[in-house]
Chains A and B, each alone.
Chain A
Amino acid sequence: MSLDMPAKSAVGVSEIETLRRMLEETQEALRAIQHGEVDALVVPRENGPTIFTLEGADQSYRLLVESMNEGAVTVAQDGTIFYCNGAFARLLGRSMDTLIGASLLPYIPESEREAFSELIQAIFHQGAKAEFLLIRADNQTVPVQFSISQLPQSPVPIFCIVATDLSDRKRVETVLRDARHQLEIKVQERTAELKERQQEYASLTENSPDIIARFDVELRHLYVNPRVERVTGIPAKEFIGKTHQELGLDPKLCALWRTHLLHVFNTGEPQTIQFSFPSAEGERNFIARIVPEHDEDGKVVSVLSIASDETERLSAQKKLQASEEVLRSFYDSSSVLMGIVELIPGDVLHIYDNPAFCAFFGLPAESTRGKRARELHLPADMLDVWHGHFERCLTLNNPIRFDSFLRHAGTERWLGVTVTPIGEPSESNRRLSYVAEDITDQKISEFALKISEDRLNEVNRTLESRVHERTRELEQANATIKASLQEKEVLLKEIHHRVKNNLQIISSLLRMQLGRLRNSDSDRILQESQNRIRSMAMIHEQLYQTNDMSNINFKSYLQTLMSHLLQSYSDIQQNITYELDADDINLHLDTAIPCALIATELISNAFKHAFPKATGGALKIRFKKTAEDHILLAVEDNGIGMPPNLDYANSSSVGFTILNALCRQLRSKLQVESGAAGGVRVTLIFRPSENINL
């Protein structure tokens, strides 16, 4: 740097500028030096600039050595320590002060000291590395690696040692050694296991029911298991090293194997072949799998074939196929709608429907496969109904039957549908089978039947109400009739009462006449007439006193009559006894009146004629039912008997005239004979009128 300046006038402005800049730079450098902001000054010399540092230039290296983690130490040839760093002191567990100036040797175990000294002696220029132990203050040893080098350019030999703590590395080494040991044991175990496994496989192969063989590239057998002998009759040993042709097997079979084995060798693709073999046990069918075996480069070096006897399975498959065909024929030819569907949200997926289904909905056969019901334009109302039932069927896991009405292609049809879940229904399995039958005709007849039933019921109801009405009318009529009958009865009673009263009046009139008459003949005639009228009046009296208006209990009548006649004839006859032997017979009015008059006449005759001396006597009156529904009336006395010339049938007396007339009325005749006790017995046997009530 030159500072000799030329005169201002003589130099250019630019030169002044340069000088000014140089001055500024120099000032700047001086300022920095004064403020202690620089590390070094650069002084140009002949052989390049020399750098003068303002502080110890080794400061940074010292710091490096002081703070590094490796132990660093400089020693003299006899082991005296000139310097050591903190890491080295820590390694030994001692302070730096005690170490510097002391010998390193006491910290090396005696056994290794000589080796250390020898190592130091041997070092000249090249460094050396060696492992030693160091004795720590606590008498433990630390494994270290010493990197030793000799410091250059020093008047006495000084050695620099970097000591690396190997404790961690040693520990790791130990762990690694152990691990390796363990690994070796494991490898041995696995090897043994593998050997065992290999033997197992070998035994499996040897005893396999399949024929296992391995072929080389020349298609010769490398291996074949013993099973082959049972099928081919050739021992397994014979196969080794031979091709199928060389073994003399069927040429067709040889060609088949050759083709496929070569294919596997050439392409590396596994092959499956099917063949049959006429074994000693009959024709057997095999399926063989041929797989390639590669070497390390991926080249096919051999192939392995495993042929399994599938005879039974294949025949079972054939049978299954046959039975499936049978089922299919039902399925396809049935007039019943059948199919399989899957329930999807809001729709039904048709998996398969038989031709009957397609025909019913006018769809081409097979066209429904994999379609959704809405895509097929099936009737929408039907779909909703079916979907609901399908859902229920899956929920219940039970077959469901329902009837479905639908309008399709202008017709109204009824289907009877049965749906059944296929397998166990779940989230993933929502499949169902359905069977649907056209039940329209059945529904129509059911409907017709229902209509006629309804009609019948209506008619029944009408009839019932009519019967009811009529019954009520009849009941009313009956009541009316009953009332009028009662009225009639009352009237009849009234009539009988009046007839009786009239007859009694007549009888009373006669009695009055009788009282006036002094003539005994007239007196007798009147009395007889009165008795006759009286006997008739008694009939009427008895009639209206009982409930029966047309029949009279003649037994009780005869009693009444008898007591009246006893009283009536008491002026001429006392001491008359009578015996009445009568059955309980009711006589109709038509019969009763003539019968009563006949009885009156006969008894009166007995009173008048049988006992003329009025000394008393006995009467016997019988009124009996005879065998042939006839009635017998007999009056018998024990009096004087009949006069010998009496012809009562032609008698002109009033009594007999009356008797004969009455007997004719009863279509009968009197029979007169002598009584058992010497008197007279008169008997009348007659047939009562139709409406007699016995």
Chain B
Amino acid sequence: MAYETKKPRMNSRYILRLYVTGAMPRSVRAISNIKAICEKYLTNRYQLEVIDIYQHPLAAKDEQIVAAPTLIRKSPLPMRTLVGDMSDKRRVLAGLDLEED
């Protein structure tokens, strides 16, 4: 990522939102991938909310979602947006400002 802001402190609490389209293949993959990463790197300090934009179309509008699946880091600030099935672990960790062990 070209632009670096100061990294969030260790142990800060993560609030994540994943926007998916029903049980479509990449959405399903994205759910399982992000869950695995959170469980491993953010044990006991994250909150993950999965939102189906079929059922809540207006939520997509509010967040200006362009594609699904999309992950939004609500906290810690600044907000971050990741799009895709979250299968590239290195990218996901970088996007969440987490370091690989």
Contact = CB atoms under 8 A, between A and B. Distances in A.
B37 to A, nearest CB: 15
Most chain B beta carbons < 10 A, residue from A32, A35, A39:
A39
B83 A40 contact: no
Given A40-B24, A49-B60, A59-B25, A26 B66 contact: yes
Interface in A11-62: 20-21, 24-26, 28-29, 31-33, 35, 37-42, 44, 48-49, 51, 53, 55, 57, 59-60
B61 interface: yes
Interface string B52-94: 0110011011001111111000000011011111010000000
Interface string A196-210: 000000000000000
Contacts of B70: 29
A32 to B, nearest CB: 4
B64 A1 contact: yes
Contacts of A25: 66, 81
A420 to B, nearest CB: 80
B56 to A, nearest CB: 10
Contacts of B54: 51
Contact of B61 (A39, A49, A57, A60): A49
Given A28-B82, A51-B21, A41 B66 contact: yes
A244 to B, nearest CB: 82
Contacts of B83: 28-29, 31-33, 37-38
Nearest to B27: A39
Most chain B beta carbons < 10 A, residue from A1, A38, A44:
A38
B81 A38 contact: no
B60 A42 contact: yes
A53 B24 contact: yes
B23 interface: yes
A322 to B, nearest CB: 88
B26 interface: yes
B91 to A, nearest CB: 9
Given A20-B3, A49-B60, A39 B24 contact: yes
A49 B61 CA distance: 7
A35 B82 CA distance: 13
Given A28-B81, A49-B60, A42 B3 contact: no
Contacts of A21: 78-79
A42 B53 contact: yes
A59 B23 CA distance: 9
Given A24-B3, A28-B82, A40 B66 contact: no
Interface string B10-50: 00000000001111111100000000000000000000000
A28 B61 CA distance: 18
A165 B79 CA distance: 54
A51 B81 contact: no
A461 to B, nearest CB: 111
A51 B26 contact: no
A49 B62 CA distance: 10
Nearest to A44: B61
Nearest to B61: A49
Contacts of B85: 37-38
Contacts of B20: 39
Nearest to B95: A28
Given A26-B66, A38-B26, A39-B24, A48 B57 contact: yes
**B interface, by DSSP: helix, strand, loop or mixed?**
loop
Nearest to A41: B67
Given A25-B81, A51-B21, A60-B22, A40 B67 contact: yes
A57 to B, nearest CB: 8
B67 A32 contact: yes
Nearest to A22: B64
B5 to A, nearest CB: 10
A39 B66 contact: no
Contact of A33 (B58, B64, B67, B79): B67
B81 A39 contact: no
A44 B69 CA distance: 16
B21 A40 contact: yes
Contacts of A57: 24
Contacts of A37: 26, 83-85, 87
B64 to A, nearest CB: 7
Contacts of A38: 26, 67-69, 83-85
Contacts of A51: 21, 53-54, 57, 60, 68
A35 B85 CA distance: 10
Nearest to B65: A42
Contacts of A49: 53, 57-58, 60-61
B76 to A, nearest CB: 15
A20 B5 CA distance: 13
Contacts of B22: 60
B23 to A, nearest CB: 5
A29 B68 contact: no
Given A24-B3, A51-B53, A51-B57, A29 B66 contact: yes
Nearest to A48: B57
Given A48-B57, A60-B23, A42 B68 contact: yes
B84 A35 contact: yes
Contacts of B1: 24
Nearest to A28: B83
A31 B82 CA distance: 10
A57 B23 CA distance: 10
B84 A48 contact: no
A452 B60 CA distance: 132
Nearest to B5: A17
B25 A39 contact: yes
Contacts of A24: 1, 3, 81
Nearest to B29: A37
B22 to A, nearest CB: 7
Most chain B beta carbons < 10 A, residue from A37, A44, A48:
A37
11 contacts: A24-B3, A25-B66, A29-B83, A33-B67, A38-B69, A38-B84, A39-B21, A51-B68, A53-B24, A55-B25, A59-B25
Given A24-B1, A60-B24, 8 more contacts: A28-B81, A28-B82, A35-B84, A39-B68, A40-B67, A41-B67, A48-B58, A55-B24
8 closest A-B pairs by beta carbon, nearest first, are: A37-B84, A32-B83, A39-B24, A32-B84, A38-B67, A40-B21, A29-B66, A25-B81
Interface of B: 1, 3, 20-27, 53-54, 57-58, 60-61, 64-70, 78-79, 81-85, 87
